[in-house]
Chain A
Amino acid sequence: MVNERESLFRRLSAACGGHGAPPGERLPAEAPVAPEVDPLALFAKTFAAADGVLLRGPVEKAVSDLGELLRAEGVTALFFPEDDAAAREIAEALVPFGPFSLTTGAEVRDGSAAVTAGFRTAEAAIAETGTIVETSAGGRTLLPGLISDVHVSIVPAASVVARMEEALAAFTADPPRNLSFLSGPSRTGDIEQTLTIGAHGPRKAIALLLG
């Protein structure tokens, strides 16, 4: 196949040749910076606009509100990454608030019939778009936001950035295999162009803003 590759590059070089400026020369400068905003206030607005549910404020109150939300969704099983202390703490604190039992991502993946909530601390959140950023960097699992019915993101306030550029910059030098932007629940408009929540991913996206 090396020959096929060489022949492609011969065709491309012939087609591109003689266009003058070196690569990148005519690229526009960095994107214009948007007006100064309070990232936390903007994130609260955009996350809601993406049909996410944001909880903040005193942890005790947030956990009890979360318990109510999960019961309303019929959730019975909670899971979190083994090495995610913050997610574990919230999930364990929730157990008294409902008929919740703790399980693992592996069990959920292998086909537990229960309605599940997956907990995970976000690497970052983006105010511009109401986005939760999750990656596989450092061997982290992505299952809580992937195969759960309800996804609960723990978002430390300090991790909220204004723009997408800031969130991506941290992963450009050595990108992990998976980097995901999650903005609200999974949705589809494929049947009669009617917005319907819960196609393949979580039916509900909740963010718990801490600190």
Chain B
Amino acid sequence: MELNANAFGRNARKALLDKTLQGALERTTGRFQAHRDAAVAAFPEFEAARERASRIKLDVLDHLDTYLARFIEEAEKRGAIVHVARDAAQAREIAARIARDEGVTLAVKSKSMASEEISLNEALQGAGVTVVESDLGEYIIQLAGETPSHIIAPAVHKTREQISRLFERHLGEPPTDSIPELVGMARKHLRAKFLSAGMGVSGGNFLVADTGSVVLVTNEGNGRMGTILPRVHLAVVGIEKVIPRMADLPTFLRLLPRSASGQAISSYVSVVTGTRRAGDPEGPDRTHILLLDCGRSAILEGKYREILKCVRCAACLNVCPVYQSVGGHAYGWVYSGPIGAVLTPLLVGLPEASALPDASTLCGACADVCPVKIPLPDFLLELRSDARDQGLKTPGEIAAMKGYAGVMKRAGLLEAIERIGGVLGQLFTKGKGIGGLPYPLSGWTERRDFPVPASLPFRKQWKIKRGARD
């Protein structure tokens, strides 16, 4: 996907003015959050499972070489063909070669964020393959020529009216405002594709080392269809998705759907291992597994390695006040919300995405919900500090922060400023809020008023209140 992360400020402004998007975000993030909270409350084992999942993932990070080697060995033993790509360009080359060698002209694809990282669809189209997205949300945005705006709900920014118009234009369907009818139309058109496609393309939620299995979690059943019906299956998966044993899978299955959509389990979990066995009536004749490094081994080396524990549930997006306000597209690449603000700079390089770690209030809600206990706020802070060390902050910002630190370290100075600020503030604004400040402070006041300093500083009020109580 084209990278546009450093335009976060501009993208966010655009998003805040987009009324349709604002309505969709309000509807969605609140609902996901409520469902997630209810599911977690109804599952007393949640905390124990979370701790367990985090420890399993840490063990994997310590021994990714061992577990990945085991995965490859077991998968190949059962007939899968495993490919390894260092970067996006190499991954595209391999995918295109697979499609050409297998003589594929039509591919059905289920949702995969990893495939977005490498712009897989363009590579396959370049090899003469028509790629049809089969996840309903992805299908809708493919028809619209857009990119996903939420990890598990890619078309959250589209209304039923917009979708009906898309189906009218691209599928020749009559207009409707009924959601079940719209789903039925997509079902009919995509069923025909599933039955005629030569290749099913999937991502992978987990790679099981001790069996060589790829695990897919879906609700619609498209992942299942695409891995059972076409004669070729291509799975594109990041190397960090490995878990040690099949026996570890239930722990993750208890966490992922609850964190993502608030379901006890998703409708479909497909565990696919190797290729079709002799005597199997269905299943692909050939299974290709394309493992992506694409920056992951470099992350594994450094202080941000725990970000590789992520299972892509999107719970951190739904609770994030910044994501709730601007949606996914503002983040300018594949991953959005707190996970995107950390992962994107690490995968594409901090200079290319240094605006993203600043796109956070550091409220900590993301760390509270993360099912594998990634310290997201710590990483956001650390990345800001890295950005400064790499000379990615403006001299003005550095000077302002130095000044701020200087004042905060001197109680007397702080109090003096608070008093003067309080008097001046009341005098000039009549308590209404400060707006329209000149550059560079206009960055603050352009879209929001700065609160008027209180006439009595906090510490003064504290003293008075405490005195009254004593």
Q: Which residues of A are at the interface with B, using a C-beta cutoff of 8 A?
A: 1, 4-5, 7-9, 11-16, 19-28, 30-32, 34, 46, 49-50, 109, 111, 129-131, 136, 138-143, 146-147, 163-165, 168-169, 171-172, 175-194, 196-202
Not counting A15-B300, A196-B180, a sample of 17 additional A-B residue pairs whose C-beta atoms are within 8 angstroms of each other reads A8-B297, A12-B239, A16-B63, A28-B56, A50-B267, A130-B265, A131-B269, A141-B282, A146-B224, A171-B271, A177-B272, A180-B224, A180-B270, A182-B267, A188-B136, A191-B136, A199-B183
Residue contact A8 to B63, C-beta cutoff 8 Å: no
Of the residues A21, A164, A183, contact of B62 by C-beta under 8 Å: A21
Per CB-CB distance, the 10 closest pairs between chain A and chain B, nearest first, are A201-B221, A199-B220, A190-B137, A139-B279, A164-B250, A181-B269, A19-B62, A15-B300, A12-B65, A15-B301
Of the residues B27, B65, B246, B268, contact of A186 by C-beta under 8 Å: B268
B residues near A187, Cβ cutoff 8 Å: 219-220, 267
Specify which of B68, B224, B261, B298 lies most central, judged by the most chain A CB atoms within 10 Å of its CB: B224
What separation, in Å, do the CA atoms of A171 and B210 have in the docked complex? Answer: 12
Q: 0/1 per residue, B193-210, Cβ < 8 Å to A?
A: 011000000000000001
Q: From residue A181, how far is it (CB to closest CB) to chain B in Å?
A: 4
- Given the known interface contacts A50-B265, A180-B270, A182-B268, the answer about A14 and B90 at a Cβ–Cβ threshold of 8 Å is no
Q: From residue A110, how far is it (CB to closest CB) to chain B in Å?
A: 8
- Given the known interface contacts A179-B270, A192-B160, the answer about A9 and B65 at a Cβ–Cβ threshold of 8 Å is yes
Chain B residue at minimum C-beta to C-beta distance from A51: B267
Is residue B388 within 8 Å, beta carbon to beta carbon, of the partner chain?
no
Chain B residue at minimum C-beta to C-beta distance from A2: B84
B residues near A172, Cβ cutoff 8 Å: 210-211, 245-247
Interface of A is mostly: loop
Of the residues B183, B247, B268, B279, contact of A181 by C-beta under 8 Å: B268
What separation, in Å, do the CA atoms of A1 and B190 have in the docked complex? Answer: 35
A residues near B222, Cβ cutoff 8 Å: 199-200
Of the residues B67, B155, B305, contact of A190 by C-beta under 8 Å: B155
Residue contact A186 to B247, C-beta cutoff 8 Å: no
Is residue B408 within 8 Å, beta carbon to beta carbon, of the partner chain?
no
A residues near B186, Cβ cutoff 8 Å: 199
- Given the known interface contacts A8-B84, A27-B56, A192-B27, the answer about A168 and B265 at a Cβ–Cβ threshold of 8 Å is no
Q: 0/1 per residue, B295-335, Cβ < 8 Å to A?
A: 00110110001000000000000000000000000000000
Residue contact A184 to B267, C-beta cutoff 8 Å: yes
Residue contact A146 to B27, C-beta cutoff 8 Å: no
A residues near B22, Cβ cutoff 8 Å: none
